[in-house]
A and B are shown apart, each in its own frame.
Chain A
Amino acid sequence: MPRTKAHPGTRVLDAVASLKLTIACLVCLMVLVVACTLAQVRMGTLGAVTAYIRSAVVWWHLPGMGLRLPVFPGGLTVGVVLLINLIVAQGRRLEASWRKSGLWLVHAGLILLFVGEFISGARQVEMQLPIEEGQTVAFLESPRDLELAITDVTDPARDQVHGIPEALLSHENLIAVPGTPLSIKVSRYYQNADLSRRADADPISLATAGVGTSLAVRELPPVSRDDERDLRAVFIEPIAAGKSYGTWLVSNGLGAPQTFIDEGRTYTLSLRQRREYLPYSLTLKKFSHDIYPGTDIPKNFSSLVHLSNPARGEERDVLISMNQPLRYAGKAFYQASFGKNDTLSILQVVENPGWLLPYISCVLVAAGLVLHFALSLGRSLRRRQPALIPAGA
């Protein structure tokens, strides 16, 4: 009997749903995990995870040529392919019957787990809130990302703060600042640098205005240890209506903002940790660092904060302690660190729209396994029952 030729679409779906593809993806994931682990030595945890796991493609940077080549699918690509493989395989292979309902639940849980990881990878934001006792703070700071803050301080009552993400500074040459006549021209960007007093032997600084004129900037390789931070240095040139205000050095190593005036409006420049402003504020009333009696061993860290949200008419005290975060307005505030002789508390603030999905997926998988086991057990018992009845009874 002649074999009927399969429809091209069907063949594609068969290929997508194949077990071979599943195995290939799992092998790729294993390779990525090993490579990522090894890369952490030179790139740090975050850099390696970003380059290998959270990227679509793993790039190889050709030494000294400024070129990069795609050498391997990144974790994001492999994860998406695996997700599609799982979904298509479930649709094509798993019969839609009560008998297989447990397996459907298990697969749905796995799919949800993948989706949750994608959402977390794309949308999770981790910030910090350093706050001293008695201080009131209404903004969060990114522990890693920087921004160029251009603040119009002309108004005696309010500041207009324009934040240019560091990613734009490192990639763009000319950045318009919306709502102002200003554009920022980026002359030079150093991911890591050393700042020192400029000596006579040093080359002339790129800076023609601000404190950068008296500083020497020496480029350094980016740090890789997780407990180290790069010191960014960027030379920028504010331009308004074609008029240049000189080239300024901004760096997260400079303590105070630098100022210039355009058409009577005073602007300050500073490179700082990226901020997210909140419509509510937290006041640290008391930070507690409890230890076991007679030892220096920490027992508990906690921050008693006052939450004030005028828009909701909310005024209340909250105790944030280890494993007991404050969950408020889509954010979770965890006790993360402390300092300044126990007068400074540092809260880790996490916003993850998909934080519930792993819990739901675990429940689905567990329920699916239990259901599948129960159904299989029932079928098995029913099959064995006739055999247990004695012949001729």
Chain B
Amino acid sequence: MRRLCAPPFAVRTNCAANRLLCRGTVAGMELAMSTGMATLPAPSLMTVLVLILSCADCRQEQVTLASLPKAQGAPAAPPAVAQASVAPPSAAPASAAAPAFATAEEGGPALKWSLPGGWVETHPGGMRYATLRPPGGSVDVSVVVLSGPAGGELANVNRWRSQIGLSAIGEPALSAARVTLHAKAGDLAVYDFLSDGEKQSRMVAALATNGDRTWFLKMLGDAVEVKKARPEFNHLLQSLHFDAAN
């Protein structure tokens, strides 16, 4: 597939073989038309045949790269919401995973917190209940609420560890890693993990349970930046409380 390459976009494909094949096909056909078939030998005809048949698979099969300004990465309006001639997918992909995720409106009190100064709070929808960003913007704090135990504490902790390339741990190591923090919302299980490698990442995550729902607050980013934001994150965790009014 031809991709246009011009600033501010840089799109790259590695389809030289396919391009060559396609050009060969067109060239072969042009040759056949221009030389007159009375004198065209049979092997040339076979070449044209093979090239044309090969070109049937001349489609995009390569990994592509696009360098985009941040705004371009924002998702477009999904066609699934369209009416009229564009019918929504039968499997309703936009909401297929929704049963796994609770929302604040699904019953039970909502989790509230005091946002530290300079932090930004957004509600992007989808799986996230909220996204919080400390000053600087390189650290991401997600708030997710799931129904039930959401697979259990050990499974979730191992899932987080794998996000920064750490191996899974067992129950004994889980207990050793857990720090209990007392908040208005009850006791929180807090975990703090540092990745391996030259450029280290750090993750601080907390679980709060309320009834049949589990709340997850996870701060993730560069180890240095997370270290800076850690005290304020701790204050935020301590301010957590459930608001039955919502």
Residues on A lying within 8 angstroms of B by beta carbon are: 9, 12-13, 16-17, 54-56, 76-77, 80-81, 84, 87-88, 90-92, 111, 115, 118-119, 121-123, 125, 128, 130-132, 135, 137-139, 141, 143, 151, 153, 156-165, 167-168, 175-179, 192, 194-198, 208-211, 213-215, 220, 223, 225, 227-231, 240, 243-246, 251-256, 259-266, 272-279, 310-311, 329-330, 336-340, 344, 346, 351
Contacts and interface: CB of A to CB of B under 8 A. Distances in A.
- Give the bracket for the number of chain B residues in contact with chain A: 35 or more
Contact of B93 (A168, A251, A274): A251
Contacts of B81: 339-340, 344
Interface string B88-111: 011111111111100000000000
A319 B138 CA distance: 41
Interface stretch (B51-59, B113-121, B170-178): B51-59
Interface in B98-156: 98-100, 124-128, 137-138, 140, 146-147, 150-151, 155-156
Contacts of A77: 53
A87 B32 CA distance: 8
A209 B162 contact: yes
B77 A194 contact: no
Contacts of B201: 261, 264, 266
A5 to B, nearest CB: 17
A54 B56 contact: yes
Given A56-B56, A84-B49, A263-B199, A278 B127 contact: no
9 contacts: A9-B41, A16-B42, A156-B70, A162-B65, A213-B151, A228-B91, A229-B91, A229-B93, A264-B199
B91 A261 contact: no
B189 interface: no
A344 B52 CA distance: 40
A255 B127 contact: yes
Given A16-B42, A55-B56, A215-B97, A198 B79 contact: no
Given A138-B72, A208-B159, A253 B91 contact: yes
Interface stretch (B5-13, B179-187, B228-236, B238-246): B5-13
Interface of chain A, main secondary structure? mixed
A157 B73 CA distance: 11
Contacts, number: 294
B163 A225 contact: no
B68 A161 contact: yes
Given A13-B42, A213-B159, A344-B82, A194 B127 contact: no
B89 to A, nearest CB: 3
Nearest to B73: A159
Contact of A211 (B89, B97, B199): B97
Nearest to A220: B91
A138 B99 CA distance: 33
A344 B65 contact: no
B130 to A, nearest CB: 13
B162 A246 contact: yes
Contacts of B126: 255-256
A358 to B, nearest CB: 16
Interface string B182-223: 000000000000011111110000000000000000001110
